[in-house]
Amino acid sequence: MNVLVVGRGGREHSIVKKLSESVKVDELFVAPGNAGMESHATCVPIEETERTKLIDFAKNNQVSLTIIGPENPLLDGLADAFQAEGLRVFAPRREAALIEGSKSFAKELMMKYQIPTASYETFTDPIAAKQYVNEIGAPIVIKADGLAAGKGVIVAETKEIAFQAIDDMLVSKTFSDAGAKVVVEEFLVGSEFSLMAFVNGDNVYPMIPARDHKRAFDNDEGPNTGGMGAYAPVADITEDVIVYATKEILQKAASGMVMEDRSFTGILYAGLIMTDNGPKVIEFNARFGDPETQVVLPLMKNDLLQVLLDVLHGKDPQLEWEEETCLGVVLASFGYPDAYRKGVVLPDIDGDSFIVYAGVEESDNRFVSTGGRVLLVGAKGKTLGAASRLVYECIPSNEELDGFFYRTDIGKIEEGAPG
Kindly state the percentage of the chain with pLDDT values over 90: 90
Cα torsion 56, 61, 66, 71 to 10°: value is -50
Global confidence as pTM: 0.93
The arithmetic mean of pLDDT across residues 199-213, rounded, is 97
- Cβ atoms of 266 and 112 within 8 Å: the answer is no
The confidence band for 153, taking pLDDT boundaries of 50, 70 and 90, is confident
Helix (H) or strand (E) holding 314: none
Q: What class is the 2-91 domain? A: alpha beta
Give the phi and the psi of residue 257 in degrees, each rounded to 5.
-65, -35
CATH 3.20.20.70 matches 191-312? no
pLDDT of 415: 45
| Residue 308 pLDDT > 90 | yes
The arithmetic mean of pLDDT across residues 153-162, rounded, is 91
The confidence band for 167, taking pLDDT boundaries of 50, 70 and 90, is very high
Rounded CA-CA distance 41/44 in Å is 9
Rounded CA-CA distance 272/282 in Å is 5
Does 164 or 416 have the greater pLDDT score?
164
Does 264 or 156 have the greater pLDDT score?
264
Using DSSP's 3-state secondary structure scheme, residue 165 falls into helix
Judged by phi (left if over 0) then psi (alpha if -120 to 50, else beta), residue 227 lies in left
Give the phi and the psi of residue 389 in degrees, each rounded to 5.
-65, -40
Superfamily classification of domain 119-186 = ATP-grasp fold, A domain (3.30.1490.20)
Same-fold call for 191-312 versus 325-414 = no
Rounded CA-CA distance 308/91 in Å is 10
Give the phi and the psi of residue 292 in degrees, each rounded to 5.
-60, -40
Q: Where are the domains of the chain?
A: 2-91, 119-186, 191-312, 325-414
Question: What sections of 251-303 are H helices per DSSP?
Answer: 251-259, 292-296
pLDDT of 418: 34
| Residue 288 pLDDT > 70 | yes
Written as one string, the DSSP assignment of 64-93 is EEEEE-SHHHHHTTHHHHHHHTT--EES--
pLDDT of 414: 56
Rg (CA), the chain: 21
Over residues 13-70, the pLDDT tens digits come to 999 999 999 999 999 999 999 999 999 999 999 999 999 999 999 999 999 999 999 9
Mean pLDDT rounded to a whole number for the chain? 94
The confidence band for 350, taking pLDDT boundaries of 50, 70 and 90, is confident
Tell how far CA 241 is from the center of its chain. 21
Nearest to 223 by CA among 372, 105, 16, 77: 372
Rounded CA-CA distance 257/113 in Å is 10
In CATH, the number for domain 325-414 is 3.90.600.10
